[in-house]
Amino acid sequence: MLDDFFTRALLAGLGLSLVVGPLGSFVVWRRMAYFGDSTAHAAILGVALALAFDVSIYAGTLAVAVVMACTVSALVSRGQAMDTMLGVLSHSALAFGVVAISFVPGARSDLSGYLFGDILAVGRGDLLLIWTGALLVLGLLCLRWQRLVASSLNEELAMAAGIDPRVERMILALALAVVVALAIRVVGSLLISAMLIVPAAAARGLTRSPEWMAALAAAIAALSVTGGLYASLHVDTPAGPSIVSAAAVAFVLSQALRRG
């Protein structure tokens, strides 16, 4: 079964869906959309460094994503003007990454795959890493769920309950960095934040509890992966953008159901 490239792509997308739903819910609750963009765009610089030093793409992406996530988290703690700061970091990281890749022999031809994903080229090793990483991040979120939810909804009440919001913010930042590294082959650096935000935003108006929102967001992400891949197969469209387009359709439908 795993010899079928479409099956491997579907399994990779479903593995990623398990974690982008819950993690994306926190991104929506905390209004961290630009945070996700900054970390995701920095992934391209990680790809360039990995190619230059001949190491794993996942390792290079994870290293740079962790540095960016920690930097942004530290700036948030210091009360910086985050919209401007994140905009600068996000676009600068992407620009430096694309420039760096241009110096790596043979990498220019693969640039679109890193920007928009190449899920149909996922191999068995990629599949193992994606599922292992997704389950580890999902386990971390479940373990810290109550603390993360409390600090996301009201930091002052969380502090009164003995929860340090800075610790929870850093945990989310590191989890986000891992997911960015996992998703680079699936939807690419430009679309990772969309897969975090769109399914969670679609689920937000249809549920009444954080747990149900996270579960529904994961389900919407899984349906988007499935629908996007089948559309890509039958209409011959790029797989990564097709997945995000399917998620966008789900968001529109959720708004219609919400109004109804």
Alpha helix positions (H), the chain: 5-29, 33-52, 57-77, 82-102, 111-116, 124-143, 145-153, 155-160, 165-183, 192-204, 210-235, 239-259
* Per-residue model confidence (pLDDT) at position 92: 84
* Domain residue ranges of the chain, discontinuous segments joined by +: 5-190
Q: What is the pLDDT of residues 49-92, one digit of tens each?
A: 888 888 888 888 888 888 887 777 777 666 555 667 777 777 88
Examine the pLDDT at 253 and tell me if it is beyond 80.
yes
Place of tokens 């793409």: 57
Q: Using CA atoms, how far apart are residues 249 and 243, in angstroms rounded to an integer?
A: 10
Q: Which two tokens stand for residue 221?
A: 């992400």
| pLDDT tens sequence across 164-192 | 888 888 898 889 889 988 888 888 888 88
CATH of domain 5-190: 1.10.3470.10
Please tell me the distance from the alpha carbon of residue 159 to that of residue 114, in angstroms, as a whole number. 40
| pLDDT tens digit sequence for 194-216 | 999 999 999 998 988 999 999 99
Q: Are 83 and 32 in contact (CB under 8 A)?
A: no
| Single pTM value for the model | 0.89
User: Which residue bears the tokens 């797989």?
Assistant: 239
* List of residues 6+ apart from 187 with CB closer than 8 A: 116, 117, 119, 194, 195, 240, 243, 244
Q: What pLDDT score does 82 carry?
A: 62
